[in-house]
Amino acid sequence: MALDQTPPLNSLGFAKAPSETRVVVAMSGGVDSSVVAAMLAKEGYDVVGVTLQLYDHGAALAKKGACCAGLDIHDARRVAEDMGFPHYVLDYENVFKDAVIDEFADSYLGGATPVPCIRCNERVKFKDLLETARDLDADCMATGHYIQRKMGAQGAELHAAADANRDQSYFLFSTTPDQLNYLRFPLGHLPSKDETRALAAKYGLRVADKPDSQDICFVPNGDYASVIRKLRPEAADPGNIVDVDGNILAQHEGVIHYTIGQRRGLGIGGLADPLYVVRLDADRKEVIVGPKAMLATRTIPVREINWLGDTPLMSRAEWPISVRVRSTRPPTDAILRPLSDTTAEVELLTPEEGVSPGQACVFYDPDSSRIFGGGWIHRG
């Protein structure tokens, strides 16, 4: 009887030696992706590092703590040199502006609260960069995201990171099944970021103590208004702050300075009960304010759904799930009612405040760590 000569699966899930497995690592220059690249290189994989230049290199040189800026490109290159694998920098500036920055500005002007990091993963990193990895004959692409890929009965599944404080599933809900088959997330199982930094120190990486990036990469110091003012000057036009009946209460210096749920800085005094921003109307240049009760939302219209369940979304009239409507909030119990393959209505069992068009609504299995995809909140 012939013996099965199939070699065991390596740590990336391929039945061949690490040295025969090419993996492209998306390197931002931060500690997470640097550790992934170093770890795989140490394990003997054929590693190729790729960094995307996403916006003006000259302006970025002076800005620390942002993904894919000039200093970070330099840091990624040094890690590759130290670990002995090739590294390439790809100029995606035009793609990034067209696919991410312009929509960010337009969404804000439309009164939405966009999440550009999701669009960047969806339209740049997991689309164009992933195709580049295939062009380089890589078996897979690895990233430093804190999320888990597990094999289930129907194939690869997306699961939340082991460390809930680092979990990035909210930003990766739009990962398609085809992309998930190709992607690997070597850090998702780690119990804490301390483990990642310990690995960086173990590999002698110069970025071991580098701070995490906090801001959106093209928004210095979190100043959304200045970025949008440059892209869409009309956004800084003054207008009125009005109540829900249209009564003028005060003036403002541009709708870009306000977000849904904002209470402070409205310049409205002498009221018995505080008012909150409940809606933005960029066309009319109006900031609409109302009582806190108006921020509570129970029913959420969702579109552009990416479904990651084992059976089709429309195979049920209702799905009991948990949803996350902001990256900073824990999942909450809800009922998902599909309207089509890409649209649905989500009913929150407990109303949430500050649900805003332009944010993502991410679907979770209430009984496990699995992510069922998600969609984009709109006004309906």
In a domain, 150, yes or no: no
The one catalytic residue among 117, 120, 140, 361: 120
Residues 86 and 23 placed together within one structural domain of the fold:
yes
Residues 100 and 210 placed together within one structural domain of the fold:
yes
In a domain, 371, yes or no: yes
In a domain, 11, yes or no: no
Please say whether the beta carbons of 169 and 160 come within 8 A.
yes
In a domain, 155, yes or no: no
In a domain, 162, yes or no: no
Residue with tokens 């310990």: 198
Distances (CA, A) of 218 to 23, 128, 242, 367: 28, 19, 32, 37
Q: What pLDDT is stored for residue 92 in this prediction?
A: 87
Residues 245 and 361 placed together within one structural domain of the fold:
no
Q: What pLDDT is stored for residue 4 in this prediction?
A: 59
Residues 266 and 366 placed together within one structural domain of the fold:
no
Q: What pLDDT is stored for residue 158 in this prediction?
A: 98
Residues 198 and 54 placed together within one structural domain of the fold:
yes
Segments forming the whole domain that contains residue 309 = 295-377
In a domain, 332, yes or no: yes
Residue 120: active-site member: yes
Mean pLDDT by 10 residues, the chain (380 residues): 72 96 95 97 98 67 51 92 95 88 82 82 89 96 97 95 95 96 97 94 92 74 78 84 94 86 84 86 89 92 97 98 92 97 97 88 97 91
With a CB cutoff of 8 Å and minimum separation 6, the contacts of 198 are: none
> Would you tell me how many other CB atoms lie within 10 Å of the CB of residue 206?
13
With a CB cutoff of 8 Å and minimum separation 6, the contacts of 35 are: 144, 187, 196, 199, 200, 203, 205
CA 123/CA 104 separation, integer angstroms: 13
Amino acid at 26: A
Please say whether the beta carbons of 349 and 334 come within 8 A.
yes
CA 327/CA 115 separation, integer angstroms: 9
In a domain, 158, yes or no: no
Q: What pLDDT is stored for residue 58 in this prediction?
A: 47
- DSSP H helix total and E strand total for the chain: 10, 17
Residues 60 and 102 placed together within one structural domain of the fold:
yes
Residues 215 and 99 placed together within one structural domain of the fold:
yes
In a domain, 232, yes or no: no
Residues 138 and 276 placed together within one structural domain of the fold:
no
Residues 268 and 338 placed together within one structural domain of the fold:
no
Which CATH number goes with the domain that contains 261? 2.30.30.280
Which CATH number goes with the domain that contains 308? 2.40.30.10
CA 128/CA 169 separation, integer angstroms: 20
Residues 252 and 201 placed together within one structural domain of the fold:
no
Q: What is the DSSP letter of 177?
A: H
Q: Indicate the number of domains in the chain.
A: 3
Residues 77 and 190 placed together within one structural domain of the fold:
yes
Strand 22-26 versus strand 46-53 pairing type = parallel
Q: What pLDDT is stored for residue 273 in this prediction?
A: 85
Strand 319-324 versus strand 332-338 pairing type = antiparallel
Q: What is the DSSP letter of 238?
A: -
DSSP string, 141-153: EE---SEEEEEET
Which CATH number goes with the domain that contains 193? 3.40.50.620
Residue 217: active-site member: yes
Q: What pLDDT is stored for residue 94 in this prediction?
A: 87
Please say whether the beta carbons of 354 and 260 come within 8 A.
yes
Q: What pLDDT is stored for residue 110 in this prediction?
A: 74
Residues 248 and 329 placed together within one structural domain of the fold:
no
